[in-house]
Amino acid sequence: MTSPTNVPQNLIRPDKDMFLGEENPFESMMSRFDFAAQKLSLDPGLYKVLRSPEKQIIVSVPFLRDSGEVEVYTGYRVLYNTSRGPAKGGIRFDLNVTLDEVKALAAWMTWKCAVVNIPFGGAKGGVVCDPSQLSNAELERITRRYTATIIEVLGPDSDVPAPDVNTNERVMAWIMDTYSMHKRHTVTAVVTGKPVSMGGSLGRREATGRGCMIVTREALKRLRLPIQGTRVAVQGFGNVGSVAAQLMEQQGMKIVAVSDKSGAVYNPDGLKLRDVMQHSRQHRLLSEYRDAEHITNAELLTIDCDVLVPAALENVITSQNAARIKARIICEGANGPTTAGADRILEENGVFVIPDILANAGGVTVSYFEWVQNRAGYFWDEPTVNQRLERIMVESFAEVAGMSGRFGLNMRIGAYMQAIERVAAVHRLRGMYA
């Protein structure tokens, strides 16, 4: 680093104030950023640049209902930082989408891409709507209008969306088609998370859960704990949680609890995971599963286990329940499951937290692989995808552990320091266009 000076104290939350903003995702995330920037002695000017999103776009999304009525929804797209490459981040359709939420998630994506050292910046987008109240035809019209409205920022070299809450492969296909029609030729690399038949990558669906398994395995090795028989509780049994549980079981770990929105099932001797997964596919809700004890989602977080995988919602581990957590390792499968206020309590209690920007980065890593394959016009088999994902996740875990060890800090701050330094280094090299 080149002659850094201390970040101005009026811009930094002191450590004691890291409990503030516990329910605000942007402020909770940025409190970690502030602390990491202070530890790096980041130049004050560069600090200001990295704390500010590059573009915040708010658009109206008018569309025609099946009834012939015209509706107008609000859409957002935030490009947080593109110094290392095209912006990368999902698009969600949800009534709770806000600019603050989108901005926080775009910043998260910036640090997540940097911590695994892939050449993307961070972005996020969303439309304020309730997809459950819309027909497929209405969803398609909303998607295409939203895409056309933000099309000036989209592109393989500028901004590459992906699926997120309430969006999927089909929505990505509509975005790709809309963009391609405007460009007058097929552009597969404009989105990731597409159907495999349209240029999607093998292994993408399992990638986030696979990444969680890999870093959990590496954490157990680092702490000299046995992999065989390690007791794992997974909150959230969607794509990430179910895949992580299945792959961890294959490694020899014992899955003692899993949950969905209806509640959790628990067996201290280990669940029959295959039966639980079959039940979930057939009946959807775990509350109807009978061959295990039923507990609440909140109770799952504090059961006696070795590894806890929060893979559902934000802000589930807070200063109110952190002291009761018995797990030795927390692997954050979801974005922002642990508030800033909970971090200190967990650290004081010796809990080893694998932070979200590392733990769940397997998804964006394989999205990067998809983008690379699209641009090359050459596709890899699934073992190749998984092998390359394994290498990146193992190397990234070791780099973050090395950073946290050198500074005597926890893995979360180590991950932020690693990411911030990588983004900052590119800014220093590129200079400032004035």
d(CA 318, CA 321): 6
Q: 315 φ, ψ to 5°? A: 55, 40
Given the DSSP bridges, would you call strands 254-260 and 263-266 parallel, antiparallel or unpaired? antiparallel
d(CA 327, CA 309): 10
CA dist list (Å): 374 to 124, 378, 384: 21, 7, 16
Which two tokens mark 355? 């932070």
Q: Rounded to a whole number, what is the distance in angstroms from the first to the last CA of the chain?
A: 22
Given the DSSP bridges, would you call strands 121-127 and 87-93 parallel, antiparallel or unpaired? parallel
Three-class SS state of 124: strand
Residues 6+ apart with CB under 8 A from 59: 74, 75, 76, 77, 146, 149, 150
H-type helices in 150-272, by residue range? 169-183, 207-222, 239-250
Report the half-sphere exposure of 179 (CA within 13 A, side-chain side).
23
Crossing angle of helices 411-430 and 382-407, in 10° steps, is: 100
* Residue 153 DSSP symbol: T
- Count CB neighbours of 218 within 10 A: 17
376: part of which helix (H) or strand (E)? Answer: helix 362-376
Q: 278 φ, ψ to 5°? A: -65, -45
Which two tokens mark 300? 């799952």
Q: Tell me, yes or no, if 124 is annotated catalytic.
A: yes
Could you say which of 39, 103, 124, 194 is catalytic? 124
* Residue 6 DSSP symbol: P
Which of the residues are catalytic? 124
